[in-house]
Amino acid sequence: MGDLTLEKDCKKDTEDKIVLYPSNWLYNAGVIGLLRVLEYKKISFDISDCVQLERGVIKESYNGIFEYHKEVLKERNFSIEGKNKRYPNYIQPKQKDFFENYYIKEIGNVSRNKFKICNWCSGYFLSNNTLVNLKQNFKGDFEKFIEQREKFQGIHFAKLGAAITEMPNAFWNLNFSMPICHLCSYLIIFNHLAFIQTSDGEIFINAPDFKVIWDLNEFAKEILKGTKDDEISKILGSSLLQWSIRRRTILGAWTMMNIEVIVKRKNIIDYFDLPQDITKILLDYEIASLIERINEEKIFDLILSGKFSELEKANYFVLKAILKLKNKEKLSNNDPIKRYFSRYNDLNYLKNVSKNLPELYAKISEKTRG
């Protein structure tokens, strides 16, 4: 996992538990979506840099995803069969009974298979004996059904998956036969639950650590509840601030470099990240605390855009404004203080800023030199 400094307490798979490690963003979103369903169902799970699941909860999650749509999202028509808006033809209507009553009951019994490859995880497949038994209850072409579970294609994610006709898909480097395992093929139907709706599209904050992913997306949801401004840079920046303040945990450089936002806009998948120096600053607990104490969106915007020298100017105008207000002078309409602060007439607020802003500038300067 690189130089992560978070506590690593993941163990190997057991008869009772499966351990999931971060992989590509689509897989990670599927895992986080699954966890949202388990949280709603009040089913416990262990999350750190990896996720540890009781095998039995995988089967329970299937009914849970429909309950989650109905009760939480107020969406009654969620489906994975036939023509549907999220996972078209993931299963056919005539396969529904088999899928729910046989296949899903076995999915928690997957194990690593050294003879099969999954490009997303360690490879969790149903055993050959299980497949033989399942085939007896399947009506139709069982081999084709299993092939669809073992090859990433349009039924898993229409925007990115290759066609079953083996038309190469440019997103996956013209690879039309990317192998995935039975577990990944199942987890993927939860990926949309990890995305957060904004005016700029649906977003998911991805990182090479499940605890970081979970927290950053939870913080993003909280932030969006309290503001009408859903600019992606601010959502990510504010989420990093909250991580730093609440967790007080140092992230390794590799993790910081790989924090990104996945943006879904209709048929387009886009990616956004902050420059590494900005991420490094926002994840510094002392800097994050000073930014929160100052509590000024315009100052936060300067930091997000890397205009650190402007902080020194802002402090100069703060001191001038304090003198004017103390002398009962009225600030002019074009007073420079208004470019940096919304509460420019609040003397007590500006006094607080004058104590914190120089320290903030000094710490940022120190961090960027380091």
pLDDT tens per residue across span 280-330: 999 999 999 999 999 999 999 999 999 999 999 999 999 999 999 999 999
Spatial separation of the C-alpha atoms in residues 298 and 51, rounded to whole Å: 38
pLDDT of residue 154: 66
What values do phi and psi take at 312, rounded to 5?
-65, -40
- Region label for 235, one of left (φ > 0), alpha (ψ between -120 and 50) or beta (otherwise): alpha
Spatial separation of the C-alpha atoms in residues 192 and 255, rounded to whole Å: 23
Strand 268-272 with 260-265, pairing? antiparallel
pLDDT of residue 176: 52
Query: Which tokens is 127 given?
Result: 């055993």
CA 87, distance to chain mean position in Å, is 20
pLDDT of residue 253: 87
Its pTM stands at 0.89
pLDDT of residue 171: 43
At 206-221, the pLDDT tens digits run 999 999 999 999 999 9
Per this entry, what is the length of the chain? 370
Query: Which tokens is 344 given?
Result: 């420019």
Query: Which tokens is 151 given?
Result: 């090859």
Spatial separation of the C-alpha atoms in residues 155 and 163, rounded to whole Å: 8
- SS3 letters across the chain: CCCCCCCCCCCCCCCCEEEECCCCHHHHHHHHHHHHHHHHCCCCCEECCCEEEEHHHHHHHHHHHHHHHHHCCCCCCCCCECCCCCCCCCECHHHHHHHHHHHHHHHHHCEECCCCCCCCCCCEECCHHHHHHHHCCCCCCHHHHHHHHHECECCCCCCCCECCCCCCCHHHCCCCCCECCHHHHHHHHHHHHHCEEECCEEEEEECCCHHHHHHHHHHHHHHHHCCCCCCHHHHHHHHHHHHHHHHCCCCCHHHHHCCEEEEEECCEEEEECCCHHHHHHHCCHHHHHHHHHHCCHHHHHHHHCCCCHHHHHHHHHHHHHHHHHHCCCCCCCCCHHHHCCCCCCCHHHHHHHHHHHHHHHHHHHHHHHC
Task: List Cα–Cα distances, 81 to 31, 95, 156, in angstroms.
Answer: 21, 8, 12
Spatial separation of the C-alpha atoms in residues 295 and 343, rounded to whole Å: 10
pLDDT of residue 169: 42
Alpha-carbon torsion, ordered 232, 233, 237, 239, to 10 deg: 10
pLDDT of residue 160: 57
Tell me which residue has tokens 């703060």.
Answer: 318
Q: Which residues of the chain have pLDDT under 70?
A: 1-11, 154, 157-177, 370
Spatial separation of the C-alpha atoms in residues 325 and 244, rounded to whole Å: 35
pLDDT of residue 11: 66
pLDDT of residue 41: 95
Is residue 17 a contact partner of residue 54, using CB atoms and an 8 Å limit?
A: yes
Spatial separation of the C-alpha atoms in residues 347 and 349, rounded to whole Å: 5
pLDDT of residue 297: 94
pLDDT of residue 3: 31
